[in-house]
Amino acid sequence: MFSDQKSFQETFKKRLEQSYSISFDDSTRAQQFVTLSQMVREHISSEWIETNERQRQEKKQTYYLSIEFLLGRLLGQNLINLGLYETIQSWLDDIDIPLEELEDIEPDAGLGNGGLGRLAACFLDSLASMGLPGHGCGIRYKHGLFEQKMVNGFQMELPENWLRYGYVWEVRKSDLTVEVPFWGSVDVVEREDGVKFRHVDAEYVKAVPYDMPVVGYGGKTVNTLRLWSAETSSFSLNQDVLKYKKDTEAISEFLYPDDSNDEGKILRLKQQYFLVSASIRSIIQRHLSNGGELRSLHERIAIHINDTHPVLAIPELMRVLMDDYQLSWDDAWHVTENTFAYTNHTTLSEALERWPIRIFRPLLPRIYMIIQEINERFCKSLWDQYPGDWDRIERMAIIAKDEVRMAHLAIAGSHSVNGVARLHTEILKNREMNEFYQFQPAKFNNKTNGITHRRWLLKANPELTSLLSETIGEGFKTDATELSKLALYVEDPAFLEKLSRVKRKRKDILTKLIYERNGIKVDPTSIFDVQVKRLHAYKRQLLNVLHILALYNKVKHEPSFHMPPRTFIFGAKASPGYFYAKRIIKLIDSVAELVNNDPETKGLITVVFMENYRVSLAEYIIPAADISEQISTASKEASGTGNMKFMMNGAVTVGTLDGANVEILEQTGPDNIFIFGLKAEEVMAFDRDGGYRSMDYYHHDPLIRRTLDQLVDGTLDDKGLFGVIYESLLSENDQYFVLKDFEAYRSAQEAAGRIYEKNPQQWRKMMVKNISGSGIFSSDRTIKEYASEIWKI
Ligand code: 26V
């Protein structure tokens, strides 16, 4: 099919005509996209089958359980990983079809919010690319993360619909359907060999698996991502049945349903149990069919729990081993503890999951019982270690104060607990999880995040990829640490010139896109200063936008003030119920309106908010960035992964010493990054002891005062929209230290602008140092560490 141009073109045309009963000349790009993708999928299938066969002999496999997988588009990436991209591109070109246009038809598989889900997707790519037996398990949400529409500068949410035209990359496996029980009660059966428990009178939900191929680079390994869909089989117009059908299908309807009320909480808990129950069942079935023994499950299988969402896999495995296969508690616990490993992705207390018992127990009665037993035994072992220390035991308990604490269950039931950047792991060990660390220090370890350079470099930035290939050879494609070879060219003017031309090309492409999407003409020679990520107060998009407003004020009121032209680019979705975050989006829009249209700043300061930020848009934005904004309040960002993507594409970071920025600094050296602001210990000391008064900064810094006043004096709006932001900074004492870090940030930005403008050659060297130091942030490195130190595969 893909062996030569002629047979490819013939097959492609014939299939197109047969599938759609139209002539090739009349076919649409969408039809061409589907036809090509189907051909690619078929091409993959033999390697997929072979990988499955091969892995049956494999000593040990990993399953990565995650409530999110943020895959983005697959056609282009699959072609790259199969080594077919350029070939197909030219064969299609020959019949007047631009491959990029077909790629642009594909909807993003957006089954995630941000970093956590994208990390899972990068990990899948690395596992397959390194030929490791590692598979994903998730939920096939009918609607991924909402589509963001901007209306008068306000975010509106529309249901996303990636499955609208059918999805070419999945295979429905109805024969592997399993049933997941909810509600009901627990029956106790006395037997000679002890007491046995059975979950009875449950309502069953069908979990139907859809498998997606995960094609590794080189095309030799094709792993599987299994996504579960909730279905009912009954057909009836009976009201009760219809309601049951609706309730059931709701389980895989939306990613993160609103959980501000009990009904929403029940639904989220249902999703979590649905995922783990179906996944554990299928993992065990496969293990048994390969001739595996349950008592040694942990020697053949490692299960990874991505944040606490899939943590019920721990009691679920206990349940299956004991209730279905009659293992004793001790045997089942031994297997379970050695099977699971857990990653923590945040220290923010509002994001730590706890379920009220009144919701948990009725929905999952047998699982609740098992957690009670785990808790009792866990507390006993704490008692042995800390006899009499009731307070500590209550703080560490899995069930306490009428709640089930998911992180505590995860730690108790796993043999490994890791953070996602060195600083983050230290904070877990020394603060957030300190008592657990004291109790079981050996469990704790760090695995600094990474990103797949196959998507974020090879796919997103073909121009840079070719330049790198001709300069340092192709080796970096499979071994990203070879990017360090680039350091040899840091003084090579010819190379620096080529590098800056590549950056300019990517800026031109983004410039065109911004014009198409936003109707704004930006200057591609201006500094592209980019902040793209979820909108959250701790990430401090507010610091960025206040700084822009301050620059505006300086231009207007300080005659001697000079700055190089800058284009500030934002992309961010705010969680639908997060009022404050949505108001910051509106603020970005209002500041854009002001500075983009004022004759004094027009062309000098441009602000662009790009709608509906997602993986495919990131692939356009990141390669075009000059400056990468990583400005979270120190200690709050667990790692960040966008920071790594920008670095690899030659953007220079303006950032705090937070998350993985600390390790990025080690790679670039202090001269090739702009670090500013409070350190994590300082933030944590203020959080603990107080001593920060944001009002002082308002009173003592005229620039801050003038800028903040504009939030409420009618400069930006006459409806008082930004009073909440003003209040959060002043009367609520600025929880995220925006004002405290303001001057340091302004001065770091000024330094960056100065070098960019006055010393372009130095800037280019900084770009080189960023790219050449980025290899360590390939997720291949991260996955190697997980594989050898945690999973032992
Ligand atoms: C979720 C929520 C939801 C409710 C509102 C507050 C809040 C705050 C944070 C979160 C994050 C949940 C977990 C998460 O996505 N963490 C991200 O994981 C990335 C991959 O490890 C990491 O790079 C990011 O720093 C981290 O925020």
| Sign of the CA dihedral running 654, 655, 661, 667 | positive
Examine the domain organization and report whether 629 and 674 are in the same domain.
Answer: yes
Task: Tell me, in angstroms, the distance from the centre of ligand 1 to residue 348's CA.
Answer: 8
**517 and 439 belong to one structural domain:** no
- CA 789, 310, 638: angle at the middle one, nearest 5? 60
614 in the same domain as 518: yes
Residues 6 or more apart in contact with residue 36 via CB below 8 angstroms: 12, 75, 88, 92, 102
Query: Tens digit of pLDDT for each residue in 520-543?
Result: 999 999 999 999 999 999 999 999
537 CA to centre of ligand 1 in angstroms = 12
645 has catalytic annotation: yes
Which atom of ligand 1 sits closest to the CA of residue 115?
19
- Token pair 């992180």 is at which residue? 407
Task: Check whether residue 26 and residue 4 sit in a common domain.
Answer: yes
11's CB contacts (< 8 A; 6+ apart) are: 1, 39
- Give yes or no: residues 490 and 530 share one domain: yes
Residue 248 burial (C-beta neighbours within 10 Å; 0-12, 13-18, 19+): buried
Tell me what the mean pLDDT of segment 376-405 comes to.
98
Task: Name 138's bridge partners.
Answer: 227
Residue 145 to residue 161: CA distance in whole angstroms: 9
Whole-angstrom distance, CA of residue 782 vs CA of residue 790:
11
Q: How confident is the model at residue 265 (pLDDT cuts 50, 70, 90)?
A: very high
Give the per-residue pLDDT at 225: 98
Report whether pLDDT(258) > 90.
Answer: no
d(CA 784, CA 130): 9
Residues 301 and 258 in one domain: yes
Q: 601, 606, 641, 653: which is the annotated catalytic residue?
A: 641
Q: Which residue carries 């509002």 as its tokens?
A: 350
DSSP string, 646-661: HHHTTPEEEE-S-TTH
Residue 114 Cα to ligand 1 midpoint, Å, equals 8
Query: Which residues touch 153 (CB under 8 Å, ≥6 apart)?
Result: 585, 586, 589, 590, 593
Residues ≥6 apart with Cβ < 8 Å to 401: none
pLDDT of residue 638: 98
Predicted pLDDT at 57: 87
pLDDT above 70 as % of the chain? 100
Which of the residues 345, 366, 477, 781 is marked catalytic?
Answer: 345
Which pair of tokens denotes residue 616? 């495919």
Q: Whose CA is nearest to atom 5 of ligand 1?
A: 351
Other CB atoms within 10 A of residue 140 CB: 23
Query: Is the Cβ atom of 577 under 6 angstroms away from ligand 1?
Result: no
Q: Which atom of ligand 1 is nearest to the CA of 350?
A: 6
Distance, CA of 61 to CA of 229 (rounded, Å): 23
Pocket test for ligand 1, best of 66, 69, 113, 116 (most atoms within 8 A of CB): 116
Range of the domain at 50: 1-56+74-100
DSSP state of 389: -
Q: Whose CA is nearest to atom 2 of ligand 1?
A: 351
Q: What is the mean pLDDT of the chain?
A: 97
Name, in order, each residue with C-beta under 8 angstroms of 7's C-beta and a sequence gap of 6 or more: 1
- Point out the ligand 1 atom lying closest to the alpha carbon of residue 118: 20
Neighbours of 575 (CB within 10 A): 17
Asked whether residue 398 falls in the same domain as residue 483, the answer is: no
Phi, psi of 473 (to 5 degrees): 85, 180
Whole-angstrom distance, CA of residue 316 vs CA of residue 21: 50
Region 359-388: mean pLDDT is 98
Ligand 1 centroid – CA 499 distance (Å): 34
For residue 673, count CB atoms less than 10 angstroms from its CB and return exposed for 0-12, middle for 13-18, buried for 19 or more: buried
Q: What pLDDT score does 560 carry?
A: 97
Closest to 636 (Cα-Cα) out of 653, 666, 659: 659
Please say if 309 is a catalytic residue: no
Q: Are 484 and 348 part of one and the same domain?
A: no
Query: Closest residue (by CA) to atom 7 of ligand 1?
Result: 351
At 235, the pLDDT band (50, 70, 90 cuts) reads low
CA distances from 662 to 235, 495, 659, 774 (A): 57, 28, 6, 13
Determine the pLDDT at residue 234: 67
Average pLDDT score over residue span 457-478: 98
Q: Is 244 a residue whose pLDDT tops 90?
A: no
At 388, is the pLDDT very low, low, confident or very high (cuts 50, 70, 90)? very high
Is residue 666 located within the same domain as residue 692?
Answer: yes
Q: Which helix (H) or strand (E) holds 77?
A: helix 75-81
Average pLDDT over residues 196-216: 96
Q: pLDDT tens digits for 476-519?
A: 999 999 999 999 999 999 999 999 999 999 999 999 999 999 99
Could you tell me if 622 and 668 lie in one domain?
Answer: yes
User: In this predicted structure, what is the pLDDT of residue 238?
Assistant: 83
Confidence class for position 350, pLDDT limits 50, 70, 90: confident
Question: Which tokens is 295 given?
Answer: 């008592």
Q: How far is the CA of 637 from the centre of ligand 1 (A)?
A: 8
CATH number of the domain encompassing residue 462: 3.40.50.2000
731-734 contacts, C-beta under 8 A, 24 or more apart: 733/692, 733/693, 733/694, 733/695, 734/692, 734/694
Q: 143: which DSSP letter? A: B
Q: Which of 180-194, 499-513, 553-567, 723-737 has the lowest mean pLDDT?
A: 180-194
Same domain for 244 and 316, yes or no, is yes
Averaged pLDDT for residues 366-389? 98
Are residues 196 and 143 both part of a single domain?
Answer: yes
Burial of 773 (0-12, 13-18, 19+ CB in 10 A): buried
Output 395-404 pairs: Cβ under 8 A, ≥24 positions apart.
395/435, 396/435, 396/436, 396/439, 398/371, 398/374, 399/357, 399/371, 399/372, 399/375, 402/356, 402/357, 402/358, 403/354, 403/355, 403/356, 403/357, 404/354, 404/355, 404/357, 404/360, 404/368, 404/371
d(CA 229, CA 252): 6
Domains held by the chain: number:
3
554 counts as catalytic: no
Residue nearest to atom 4 of ligand 1 (CA): 351
Q: Is the CB of 451 under 6 A from ligand 1?
A: no
Catalytic position from the list 534, 547, 583, 769? 534
Q: Which pLDDT belongs to residue 85? A: 98
Three-point CA angle 584, 587, 593, nearest 5°: 150
- Can you tell me the mean pLDDT for 449-460? 98
Catalytic (active site) residue 345:
yes
- 71-120: pLDDT as tens digits: 999 999 999 999 999 999 999 999 999 999 999 999 999 999 999 999 99
Share of the chain above pLDDT 90, in %: 95
Mean per-residue pLDDT for 285-306? 96
